[in-house]
Structure 1
Amino acid sequence: MSLRDAQAVRWVKGRFSQTPFEPTRRVWPAGARLPLLVVLFVLVTGVAAGMRGVAGDNPVLSLVAGAATVLLSLTVYAAAVRFLEQRPVPELDPAGARSGLRTGVLTGLGAFMVTLAAIALCGGYGTKGGVSVGGAVTVLGMMAGIAVVEELLFRGVVFRLVEDLLGTRGALAVSGLLFGALHLVNSGATVWGALAIAIEAGLMLGAAYAAARTLWLPIGLHFGWNFALSGIFGVTVSGNEDMPAGLLHGVLSGPEAITGGGFGPEASVFAIVVCAVPTVVFLRTAGRRGRLRTRRQARSAGTPTPS
């Protein structure tokens, strides 16, 4: 390893260090930090989209682009939080990464498999064509980058800072609605589909963060759900009709209330019902751990460090 490489590794490790440090500047209020971090991550999202565009359907390039997106977005988030908030970044504590990601991925995979099983029992899901391992690898890289960038933006930035202003309920509502609205830009988007995303995914992912106070759990959950959706079972993700094919080529047929229609299974009533279960579990866990905050508690807390 060259001296430059060693310096880069030390710099990255320093961004995720949990060692407390002495603040060197005044911390701005959450309302001032929120737009700055949102703009920063809109730029990161644009860079990530550009890398995905270059990678295209190439499995190797997709994995490289996904890994680069993950590293870039995590590093930018950690550096920005340390600079703007003058604190370590416990929501990205490497010590909790393995367990958080494992639990999240398994929960996401399981939740979607239950959703698709319900759709299939109603005759709404089938497959055509063969199996594409390369397609699954391509989606793997793509979804890794998407899950990390979107969770850092919507849970790490929006949920966390809105919670400082409005409490946990307000943060769930605002981050969920904005997360749903984001999916209106997809090619096959519908208002109902975006609302369903806000309810099932926005609330579930926000509740996961509230329960764990780590971003690894919602990142894993987001990735597991999306990869099962497109990478394994080959159905449309959030109305995005331009996604590469996954392992299987799924075909949906039947009433839109059951299959989700052109938006995909996320607009199915089954998805809303299934995702409500982990959402309730996460919120109850957050309540038991004392991690649900009222608006008054948020206002009186000033600028808290995540617990």
Structure 2
Amino acid sequence: MRLLKQLGTVFVITLVGSQAIAAVEGSWLLTLLLGALTAGLALAGYAWVVRRTERRAPTEVGRAGAGSATGRGVLLGVLMFGVVIACIALTGGYRVEGWGSATVALGLIGFTAATAVTEELAFRGVLFRVVEERAGTWGALALTAVLFGAMHLANPDATVWGAVAIAIEAGGMLGAAYAATRTLWLPIGLHAGWNFAAAGIFGTEVSGSDAPQGLLEGVMSGPVLLSGGAFGPEGSLFAVLAGAALTVVFLRLARRRGRIVPARRRADRTPVTTSV
């Protein structure tokens, strides 16, 4: 019941926000504002439902250190994508055909913020935490990574390989980032920075979706394994390797901080009964 209430709250806000953003397509200012509003409402809604269902303060979205952690995440996400796109370009899989639109890029800030916040709340804030209580960190990491990758199969240019790549490079990395920090701010920043770099800066596809191009008009070509093909750079082997490397770094950090939660044994899950 707790899982359904928390996911339901995030889902309703996500649905309303996405519909509102789609309705103002073409207006960069309204996209920016509605995206920011959706992200803010989703965070507030998540905090509210966690207080109601768990009777605790939602420290994973607490204000302490939120700005700095999110900023580090954004910077790391942009740098990570920059390294990946540089590797693809060096193998002839990416080129720039011209300049895009600065106003479209500004609108994409709101769009990517809404996407990053709502998806991280659902997958790491709700699913990862709930699964981890029973299956431990490793079980939660595996399940949420698979579900996160599978979700992207609904995108227009989705491929099975693309979904597998997303599961490894993003599902694993973002879950590990949460495990290492126990807040959602770093995963949110990473998610937003990566997506904005892809569409807002380098003008590429994002997870097989038809995202508008931002500052640059980018063109992908060459072998799908290296460039990602129509799915975008996230389907590239370079992205998989980069995401996997960061996953290992975050998991080692989580272990060093004592934040790896073991799976509960069957005996631990058996209700304790008393006789009268």
The TM-score normalised by the length of structure 2 is 0.94
Q: Is the 8 A contact 1:57 1:244 kept in 2?
A: no
Question: Is the 1:200–1:271 contact (alpha carbons within 8 Å) kept by the matching residues of 2?
Answer: yes
Gaps of 5+ in 1: 1-31, 303-307
Partner of 2:274: none
1:84-136 Cα deviation digits (max 9, x unpaired): 00001110110120121011111111111110010000011011132310111
2:231 maps to which of 263, 269, 273: 263
* Counterpart AA for 1:263: F
The residue correspondences of 1:73-88 to structure 2 (distance < 5 A) are 73-88=42-57
Q: Within 5 Å, which residues of 2 pair with 1:156-305?
A: 156-241=125-210, 243-296=211-264
CA RMSD after TM alignment = 1.6
Aligned pairs (5 A) from 1:32-181: 32-181=1-150
2:260 partner amino acid: L
Which segments of 5 or more consecutive residues in structure 2 lack a partner in the other structure?
A: 271-276
Identity of aligned residues (%): 52
Residues 138, 244 of structure 1: 8 Å contact kept: no
Alpha-carbon contact 2:5-2:49 (below 8 Å) kept: no
SS of 2:219 mapped into structure 1: strand
Aligned-pair CA distance for 1:296: 2.4
The residue number in structure 2 matching 1:20 is none
Structure 1 residues 62 and 297 mapped into 2: Cα distance closer, same or farther (>3 Å)? farther
Paired AA for residue 190 in structure 1: T
- Report the number of matched residues: 270
Cα distance in 2, alignment partners of residues 214 and 301 from structure 1 = 26
| Residue identity in the other structure for 1:290 | G
Q: 1:298 Cα shift?
A: 11
> 1:165–1:299: 8 Å Cα contact kept in structure 2?
no
Q: What CA distance in whole angstroms lies between the structure 1 residues aligned with 2:247 and 2:238?
A: 14
Q: What CA distance in whole angstroms lies between the structure 2 residues aligned with 1:299 and 1:74?
A: 36
In the TM superposition, what is the alpha-carbon distance from 1:171 to its structure 2 partner? 0.5
Deviation at 1:300, TM superposition (A): 5.1
Partner of 1:10: none
TM-fit CA distance, 1:41: 2.1
TM score, norm. by length of structure 1: 0.85
Aligned-partner Cα distance in 1 for 2:26–2:94: 24
| Letter paired with 1:188 | D
What is the SS of the residue equivalent to 1:126?
Answer: strand
Structure 1 runs of 4+ with >6 Å offset? none
Per-residue CA deviation, residues 63-84 of structure 1 (Å, 9 max, x unaligned), is 1111110111001000000000
8 Å CA contact 1:112–1:229 kept in 2: the answer is: yes
Contact conserved, 2:177 with 2:187, CA < 8 A, in 1? Answer: yes
Taking the aligned partners of 1:247 and 1:161, their CA distance within structure 2 comes to 39
**DSSP-derived class of the 1:149 partner:** helix
